[in-house]
Amino acid sequence: MDALKQELKEFIIEQLNLEDINVEDIGNDDALFGDGLGLDSIDALELIVMLDKNYGIKLTDPKQGRAIFESINTMADYITAHRTTN
């Protein structure tokens, strides 16, 4: 699980082009949107594509993303429970 959380943080920093932010700067319970990491609606779509591409998880209802993408912990929990690829 820790490896997955590390992987998610690295993806977010690299793919969402977060400048001057390191893996150590993102806490597992930190809010990813709003006042937390400040991700926006396009970032949310990018995360939905990432779930599909990297873990074989298709979100049929984008509204599900609100709970899933709340933090690194919620993302890791959801991926662990629903992933179809290793």
Partner 1 sequence: MSQAYKIKSYCHIEEGGLSLNGQVLYADTSKPFAEFIKAAYKAENTKYSKFFKMDNLSKLAFLAADVLLKNEKINPEEAQDIAIVFSNKSSSLNTDRKHQNTIEDSSNYFPSPAIFVYTLPNICIGEISIKYKLNSENSFFIFERFNANHLKTYSDILLSKNKAKEVLCGWVDFDDEGHYKAFLYLVALEGDIDNNEQEINKLYNI
> Where does this chain bind partner 1 (CB under 8 A)?
15-19, 38, 42-43, 45-46, 49, 52-53
29 or 40: whose CB is closer to partner 1? 40
Instruction: With both helix axes pointing from N to C terminus, report the angle between 72-82 and 41-55 in degrees, rounded to the nearest 10.
Output: 30
Cβ 46 to partner 1 shortest distance, Å: 5
The one-letter amino acid code at 13 reads: I
Cβ neighbours, 10 Å, residue 68? 19
42 or 81: whose CB is closer to partner 1? 42
CA 31 to chain centroid = 11
Cβ 50 to partner 1 shortest distance, Å: 9
Asked whether 39 and 33 are in contact (CB, 8 A), the reply is yes
Cβ 2 to partner 1 shortest distance, Å: 26
50 or 75: whose CB is closer to partner 1? 50
